[in-house]
Amino acid sequence: MKAVGRYDSALQMFVEEPREPNLRRLAFLRWLGENHRLEHPVNGPASGELVVALAQAEIAELPLAS
């Protein structure tokens, strides 16, 4: 059986430790929503620090134009 995490007696539940979000997974979920493949419509345009980080990573991968 997989370890669940530590038990927080104040919340009366098992909790996982915080971890960095998977930007590729978030981008894929956004793509699913924008292409009407989710159960609900997209709430608005992509925004926030995670979008900025993903855009910077994509720009860094582009070849430099001369």
pLDDT tier, 2 (very low <50, low <70, confident <90, very high otherwise): low
Q: 8-34: per-residue pLDDT in tens?
A: 999 999 998 888 989 899 889 888 988
Q: Residue 14: inside a domain, yes or no? A: no
Q: Residue 52: inside a domain, yes or no? A: yes
29: left (phi over 0), alpha (psi -120 to 50) or beta: alpha
Q: Residue 9: inside a domain, yes or no? A: no
Answer yes or no: is pLDDT of 57 > 70: yes
Neighbours of 46 (CB within 10 A): 15
Q: Residue 56: inside a domain, yes or no? A: yes
DSSP line for 30-42: HHHHHTT-SSS--
pLDDT at 1: 54
pLDDT at 58: 85
Domain that holds residue 46: 20-61
Q: Residue 55: inside a domain, yes or no? A: yes
Q: Residue 28: inside a domain, yes or no? A: yes
Write down the pTM of the prediction.
0.45
Q: Residue 51: inside a domain, yes or no? A: yes
- How many folded domains does the chain comprise? 1
pLDDT at 9: 93
pLDDT at 17: 87
